[in-house]
Each structure stands twice: as structure tokens, then as C-alpha cells.
Amino acid sequence: MKKLYILILIAFSIGFGQENSEKKEAKHSFIFEPDSLFLNIGETGTVTIKFVDEDGNLANNPFYVYGRPRRALESKPRISDSTGVAVVTIKAFKPGKLNLSVRSISQKREDRVMGNMPIEVPFPPLDRIVFNDPILNVYVGTYVNYKTEVFDKANLKRTESKVLLSSSNSDVAEFDSYGNLVAKKSGKITLIASVDDIKESLNIKVSKNPVRKISVSADKDKIRTGDVLQFNAKVMNRANKVIKDVPVTFSYSGRAEYGIGLPASALINKDGKFVAETPGVFTVIAQSGRFSARKTIEVVQRNVRKEVKIVGHGTVSNVNTSDLWVWPGIGKHKGKDFAATGTWSANGEAYFWDVTEPENMYIIDTVTVDARTVNDVKVSENGEVAVITREGASNRKNGFVVLDIRDPFNVKITAEFNDDMTGGVHNVFIYDNHVYAVNNGRKYDVINIEDPSNPFRVGRYELSTPGHGVHDVWVIDGLAYSSNWADGVHVVDVGGVKFSEKNRSNIQYNPFLAMAGQGSPGNPVKLGGMADPNGHNHAAFPFISQSSDKFYLITGDEYGDQFGMAGGYHFLDFTDPKEPKETAVYQVPEAGSHNHWVHGDTLFASYYQGGLRVVDISGELMGDIYAQGREIAFFMSSDPEGFVANRPNVWGTMPYKGLIYFSDMNNGLWAIKLVDNNPMGTN
């Protein structure tokens, strides 16, 4: 019987394939009985599907059946009989407008006929509407926005549900199309939120607006572009008593300093924080009800530009360069300075450089391991040990290699570690005799290297979210900051430093250190984090602002689009680690972000095809950093002798002894410095 089935199938497939395909497409079709289905989640239904020719006769050709999207429907059987008939039992697993798809089986693609049947699976019934922090007392003449969320019986948030807001008495107050309640006169209303047959109501009191006066002030009359200035509005009643619960709306108008048509560009948030991108004269308006007040300020150019001077460059012309590290020599090499660079998609080499005289930097040793990419190089705090990563090993047993670099002129391989790292180690960090090795794209392992010749695993950090990944980890003061693509940045206690007078200021401003003490290298404990809705989180660096009371994590994107690498750096305000929020972004429009480093109040940003960028991140940060003129310098590291000639592609950077070292993927190692010779002075 089985043989017969196969024979029929093959014979038909071949015969079917030999006919004219255009004719076939026109003549064959699927009949679904019924032609649509309506199923609740978990319910089953049955449909008879026939594959027929132009006369309605069975085509005697099998077809297969599948639900779309995948895992939304279960269909049994998955294939028809050889005559072209299937009685399919369908079970619904996910809600939505789904499809049962069919496709005839034939050898030739052009002979295949497809069909679809709609299956509607309704979402679970709605359960409730929730108001988010609603204001219950409003004042005449003000607008109040009410935000709601809808949940269904499965407790899922139903973002597609459009909530209708209405007032029980539109003479007292009514809603506009955007969820703003416009208070007209004193009285009481019931605010009704409804969607389908679900309703929720609030009792709102509309009071006579006591405001008789409003004033607005700020600490300064003149700021620079990029400076965040807090405007404070004071609302008072007839008796000059300050009223605190009356909503105030901030807005601005402005005139740019130069240029016809140049907009006066700025940002003011709902709390009255203002930042300007262009110099000019700006007027901030605070409004409440019928009353408004204004304050005009002057915004001047930030004027932080500095000149870049090339100090030294070591061309790598035969391979792509990857990451770098710079460190001071020890022992007999005390007083000298060294650098290490990796190589990408090449021969598994790491180069060691003498950069004591950066203007004459040169390669002093090369280590070759079984790999194609040495993506990362890191050096221990004491300058004795380096770790290089391995990807593309010929035996697919990747991992990392521990090096003795006490004599950088004669680097020795101490040990290899490749256990459970088949997928390769992409990034590492060395902290307190442990290697934090990001491997397999999924996790980081913590490896003890107290005895560098005998590394062993003591811990592991891996997320449990579906499709999770990790790209980088950076450890400072016993806190590991990992970058996890869509899962964003995670701050993990791997032995957070204890309080001492030496680190008092750090602990004071890094709130995670105040929470530390729960974890160890063998027992990493997550303290906080923030997801990346774009899924681009590639690197992270903690930033204790030296000029404000803010603590940020600066996270870098990595992604490509049709124009090449793209992305920027996000400033996540973690001053309150329980309520982190992104407040600013630095993004060069035409280039892609990669690794970064923060020193003091300066961001050093490797920007691939956009070269190296040096950015002033002093003070509070809000809005579009790039547009605010905070860029101190940029340098396009072009080299006609590079592996890719005359095309900058900056990978990583590290400030060291007053210089900025960076590696360029296309041409090697650079050292530059900033020269402040701005004849206009610095604002």
C-alpha cells in the first residue's frame, strides 16, 4: 500500500510537472469547506480541503497543510491523501487573523498551487481598564491627560484596544481626541473609560481655578548649547499663596543667532528642563489656565572644539585590526608603555607594541593562536597577564588564551581555556584575577586565573529570556556591566567593592555600589538593568558625572542598515536604579557606533566609518547630544597604506597618559592628542 502511494505520488508529480505550468496555474484550485473558521483559543474545528482541476474533479495530487503564522495553529494531518483531499482538524493556539495555508506537492516550482483559508481566533475577552496615576482634582481652564491600559482575561496588555474616554457632563469638562480632559467650569463629573463592553470610571472634581498669577524663573540668563537649565514655574492664588497641584505647561519660542531659516532648535520637557541645540535667544513660556509667564534667555555656542594632533600611528597593512589595550610596563620594563591589538578575520594574531615613544610606536612581538579572529585583547590590572579571544579555530574549539606579558618583547602563552566555548569568545574583561569571557553569543563565564597556568570556571551569567544573547561585559569596582542586545544592559554584582574612604565618592554616586555585596565571581547577582527596545545594545560603560549628581550608563548600539554601520550612544540615567530612563543620545547620522570609553566628563566614541569622536558630556544630559555642539573633536583615521586604504573604520579607543589611543579596523593603531588652540576661546 505504501509502495503504491509512493508510486502514485511520484507518477503524478512527474506527470503534473510535465504539463504546461501556466495552464496548470489557471486551472487548479483549492476548495475549503467551510471557506473560513472562527475558533476560540484551545478550540478545534474541522475543514475539508479539496484540490481540484478546472472541472471540479479531484486533481489526484497531494498537498500539504500548515498554519500561519507558525505555532499559531495545529493542523492534522499535515498532508492530504493522494487524490487531493484532506479532512483537517485545526486547533487554535494564538489569537489573531490567522491562515490555514495549503500548497500542492510537485517537483517543479511553477506547478505548485497555493491556497489560503482565513481563520479568525478572537483574543481573550477583555478584563479591565486601568488608569495610570490619574489626577482626581482638576482646575477650570487646564488640560489633564489621562493614560489607560487595557488587560484581557489572560492578563495580557492589549495595546491594540482603543479606549474611549468620555465625561458624564461635557458642560463641566470634556475630552479632546488625544485623551486630554479640558476643564470648563466647576462641578463634578464621572470620567468613563470604555472599550468593547468593559468600562471603568473615576469621579473627578473640577474646581474653580484659583490661579491668579504665574511666574517662571531659572537660575541663569545665559547658557551654552547643551546645558540643561531648569525652569521653575510658580503658580499663586489671589492671596499669593503658592498652589502646587495645578498643571503647568512649558513651551518655548526662539530666534537662532545666525542664518536665515536656521531654526531655533531646543527641547523642553514637561518638568521644565530646557536644553538648546542652536545659539540664539529663547523664550520659555509657562502656562496654567488663562495665565502664562515667560522668561527669555540667551544661548551661546558651546564652543568646546579642540584640534586633533596626530602623535603616532602604526600601520597594519596586511589584516584587519580589532580591539586594543594600552598599559605601563612592569619589572625591567617599568617606565615603558605598551599596547596590544587583535586582528579580525585573519590568522589568529595579536600584536604587541612598544608605545613608550608613541610617535615611534612599533610592533615588538606577535602571538599566533589557532583562530581567525582575535576580537578582543585585555590586560590585567597588574600588567602581568593578557587574555586574547579566539574565534574561527580550525577545530572549532574556540575560547581564550592567557598570555604572560611581563616581558612584552617576549610574550608567552601560559594557558588556553576552551571548555564549553565552542562558539568562540567574542569579548573578555579581566578583573581581580578573573576573566569574564563572553562566549557562544549567549552567556559570560567567570574564569579564575589566580594561577594563570591553571584557569578554571567559577561562575556563569546567562539570561533566561527567549532568544537571549550577550555581546560584551565590562567590570569596574566589582560590578559587571553586560550588554545583551534586546535585553539591554545588566548590572551584576560580582563582588562589588566595600565602602572605604578611598572609594567613598564613587559609592556615593554609583547607586549600584551602594547595593553591592550580594554577589561574587562565582555567584553573579543582578542588581538592575534596562531593556533595549531596538535590540542594538552592544557595549556599556558606567559614567559617574564629574559635574552633576547624575549616574549614567552609556550604552552603545551596533547594527547595520542599507548604508553600512549605524547607531549611537544612549545615556541611561540610573541615578535612581529602580527607575532608569533614557535622557539623551549621541548619534552621528551617517556612521555607526562601536566601542567607547569614558574619562572624566569626556566620552571617547569609536565610530567605525565616522572615525573617532570626542564628546563633552559634562553636566546634566538631555536630548540630542550631537546636535548640541558637544562634540569636542573628530578624527578621520585615513591611511593610504592601510589594509583598506584611505577608509577610516575605528574599532576601539582608550585614553592613556594624556593621549587617546585607538585602533582602526582598516589600518592599525593610532595615538592622538587634543590641542586647545581655539582662537575664540571656550565658553
CB 365 within 8 A of CB 340: no
Residues 194-213 that bind other proteins (CB under 8 A): none
Q: Which of 283, 315, 522, 582 binds other proteins (CB under 8 A)?
A: 522
Site string for other proteins, 157-186 (x = CB under 8 A): ------------------------------
Our CB check for other proteins shows the closer of 274 and 662 to be 662
**Rounded CA gap, 218 and 213, in Å?**
17
9 DSSP assignment: H
Return the C-alpha cell found at 6.
509512493
Residues 112-151 that bind other proteins (CB under 8 A): 112, 114
Q: Is 103 in the site for other proteins (CB under 8 A)?
A: yes
Our CB check for other proteins shows the closer of 252 and 670 to be 670
Q: Which of 168, 303, 356, 520 binds other proteins (CB under 8 A)?
A: 520
Q: Is 448 in the site for other proteins (CB under 8 A)?
A: yes
Cβ 275 to other proteins shortest distance, Å: 33
Alpha carbons within 13 angstroms on the beta-carbon side of residue 505 total 8
Measured CA to CA in angstroms, residue 64 lies from 15, 80, 82, 87, 623 at distances of 19, 6, 11, 12, 54
Alpha carbons within 13 angstroms on the beta-carbon side of residue 477 total 24
**Rounded CA gap, 233 and 22, in Å?**
74
Residues 236-265 that bind other proteins (CB under 8 A): none
Cβ 23 to other proteins shortest distance, Å: 18
Q: Is 66 in the site for other proteins (CB under 8 A)?
A: yes
∠ CA 67-71-77, rounded to 5°: 50
Q: Is 347 in the site for other proteins (CB under 8 A)?
A: yes
Cis peptide before 328 (omega within 30 of 0): no
Q: Is 465 in the site for other proteins (CB under 8 A)?
A: no
Find the helix or strand (DSSP H, E) in which 462 lies: strand 456-462
User: For residue 341, which of 310, 359, 316 has the smallest C-alpha distance?
Assistant: 316
Q: Which of 455, 488, 511, 610 binds other proteins (CB under 8 A)?
A: 455
Return the C-alpha cell found at 385.
597577564
Q: Which of 458, 476, 514, 531 binds other proteins (CB under 8 A)?
A: 458
Site string for other proteins, 380-399 (x = CB under 8 A): -----------xx-x-xx--
Q: Which of 11, 26, 48, 78 binds other proteins (CB under 8 A)?
A: 78
- The window from 126-134, 333-341, 442-450, 543-551 that contacts other proteins (CB under 8 A) reads 442-450
Cβ 523 to other proteins shortest distance, Å: 4
> Residue 130 burial by CB count (10 A; 0-12/13-18/19+): exposed, middle or buried?
middle
**Rounded CA gap, 56 and 49, in Å?**
13
CB 612 within 8 A of CB 660: yes
Return the C-alpha cell found at 200.
471603568
Q: Is 70 in the site for other proteins (CB under 8 A)?
A: yes
Our CB check for other proteins shows the closer of 209 and 418 to be 418
Residues 540-599 that bind other proteins (CB under 8 A): 558, 560, 564-565, 594
Our CB check for other proteins shows the closer of 19 and 271 to be 19
- The window from 89-97, 118-126, 519-527, 539-547 that contacts other proteins (CB under 8 A) reads 519-527
Q: Which of 122, 125, 467, 600 binds other proteins (CB under 8 A)?
A: 467
Q: Is the dihedral of CA 14, 19, 22, 24 positive or negative?
A: negative
Beta strand 63-68 pairing with 114-121 = unpaired
Our CB check for other proteins shows the closer of 196 and 420 to be 420
Cβ 526 to other proteins shortest distance, Å: 14
**Rounded CA gap, 654 and 474, in Å?**
14
Q: Is 79 in the site for other proteins (CB under 8 A)?
A: yes
Cβ 423 to other proteins shortest distance, Å: 3
Find the helix or strand (DSSP H, E) in which 229 lies: strand 229-236
- The window from 101-109, 150-158, 239-247, 541-549 that contacts other proteins (CB under 8 A) reads 101-109
Q: Is 9 in the site for other proteins (CB under 8 A)?
A: yes
Q: What is the DSSP string of 47-115?
A: EEEEEE-TTS-B----EEEEEESTTTEEEESSB--TTSEEEEEEEE-S-EEEEEEEEE--SSGGG--EE
- The window from 175-183, 230-238, 518-526, 567-575 that contacts other proteins (CB under 8 A) reads 518-526
18 DSSP assignment: H
**Rounded CA gap, 269 and 664, in Å?**
39
**Rounded CA gap, 664 and 645, in Å?**
11
Cβ 47 to other proteins shortest distance, Å: 17
Q: Which of 373, 555, 583, 602 binds other proteins (CB under 8 A)?
A: 373
Q: How many residues bind other proteins (CB under 8 A)?
A: 79
**Rounded CA gap, 473 and 480, in Å?**
6
Residues 404-423 that bind other proteins (CB under 8 A): 415-420, 422-423
Residue 260 zone, left/alpha/beta (φ > 0; ψ -120 to 50; rest): beta
Cβ 652 to other proteins shortest distance, Å: 12
Residues 483-512 that bind other proteins (CB under 8 A): 485-486, 495
- The window from 8-16, 193-201, 251-259, 292-300 that contacts other proteins (CB under 8 A) reads 8-16
Cβ 575 to other proteins shortest distance, Å: 29
Residues 593-652 that bind other proteins (CB under 8 A): 594, 608, 649
Cβ 128 to other proteins shortest distance, Å: 35
Find the helix or strand (DSSP H, E) in which 255 lies: strand 249-256
Our CB check for other proteins shows the closer of 521 and 556 to be 521
Cβ 581 to other proteins shortest distance, Å: 25
As a three-state string, the secondary structure of 207-221 is ECCCCCEEEEEECCC
Q: Is 450 in the site for other proteins (CB under 8 A)?
A: yes
Cβ 32 to other proteins shortest distance, Å: 18
Our CB check for other proteins shows the closer of 391 and 616 to be 391
Our CB check for other proteins shows the closer of 344 and 353 to be 344
Q: Is 374 in the site for other proteins (CB under 8 A)?
A: no
Classified as helix, coil or strand, 410 is: helix
